[in-house]
Amino acid sequence: MSGAPLNERSALELAHLLQRRELNAEHLLRSCLERIHLREPEVQAWTHLAEEKALRHARELDRGAVRGLMHGLPIGVKDLFDTMDMPTCYGSPIYAGHRPAADAASVAMCIGAGAIAVGKTVTTEFATFKPGKTRNPHRLTHTPGGSSSGSAAAVADAMVPLAFGTQTAASIIRPAAFCGIVGYKPSFGNVARAGVKSLSETLDTVGCFGRTVQDVGLFAAAMTGDDRLLQIERASAPHFAVCRTHEWHYAGQDTQRAMQDAAAGLSSGGARVSDFPLPEIFSRLVQAQSEIMAFEAARSLAHERLNHLPAISPALAGILKAGIEIPMEQHQNNLKLANSARIAIDGCFDRFDAIIAPSTIGEAPEGLEHTGDPVFCRMWTLLGLPCVHVPFTTGSTGLPVGLQVIGRYGADEQTLQAAHWLQQTMRR
């Protein structure tokens, strides 16, 4: 057993200890709760803590048989996911005190695999752009990103080893980057979305946060029942394609330096590294993603828009107004463009194993009034590809910086393998 405090250890190490009965679930949970009590007044990652319920659950697990992959692991549940025994407010005053009748499917899967839900983590308003109360644990005056702000901050600050996230534009990759942890957005549709508040049927994806790539593989295996996601050791070095994207002019010096360092480090570590310029069709995808998101949000949030408009922030109200004005023909053309781009990018993966690309413009920006620019994630989300943010360096002011590893649609096992290889190589 490593010498680090329990709340700071990787989920994979903790899972092995718990399943071998070398660690009690209650002991681990109390270590996490101690950290929450210490840091929550400053970080503010949680909307609801179910401390007594979680402790009862931990004691039950300690008395009974091992339940599954996540036996005894404390987790945070983004407040976009329905939970039958905790309030679910979706980041909006419209749903204050709301109590769903059932857990979201992904939450139920993880609890069935032995996870302990510690509480609900802060989300931005309906997973859009109005910030919640959460602060970046590395520097409290800076944003943790969004929309999965509370989940990313809770994992980064060692409050829990794992937490749920969702991504419609950049809501897993960006907060993972700003908080310096691993964020995993699976292939679109891999994780059931039942019981997760819908924003965009074309884009919404359920994912997770952890401290290592192996941690998020464990979490995803429990969410999906796909045990292949546990097997992420590669026998040989991957072939990485360096993709600066058509949005490269937005990249700050810290992101540019991270791309250079990664290409050099991966090459010296034995990987093949090639440049991959995107075809012209991909230059239109960021705009298409923005329009698809607005069009579908205006319809997914029709009840709230039509019945509770004064309780919606001006920023979101503006997005919904713009979305309802987009003609159906324009929306269908955007969907056709996305489908053509998916076909084009799939063929490119015949030439390499994974893409490395920017996750964010740079370090987490100062201020809590915004969550950062999602520009480097919109395209990959629209394409539905598996994405893993891997932190491995710091920027000019000492805040975390990393890159995302992007894989072929449906090749999540291979994408996690490549991300794990990158994380191990860049740590040396």
Q: Would you name the residues annotated as active-site residues? A: 78, 147, 171
CA distances from 302 to 93, 128, 195, 329 (A): 16, 15, 17, 20
CA distances from 98 to 88, 133, 236, 253, 416 (A): 6, 19, 50, 44, 36
CA distances from 22 to 19, 115, 222, 230 (A): 8, 17, 21, 21
Gyration radius of the chain over CA positions: 20
Separation CA 169–CA 214 (nearest Å): 24
Maximal CA-CA distance, the chain: 60
Separation CA 260–CA 356 (nearest Å): 11
Separation CA 396–CA 253 (nearest Å): 9
Among 284, 259, 228, which residue's Cα sits nearest to residue 395?
259
Among 412, 279, 399, which residue's Cα sits nearest to residue 341?
279
Separation CA 130–CA 235 (nearest Å): 44
Residue 85 burial (10 A CB sphere; 0-12, 13-18, 19+): exposed
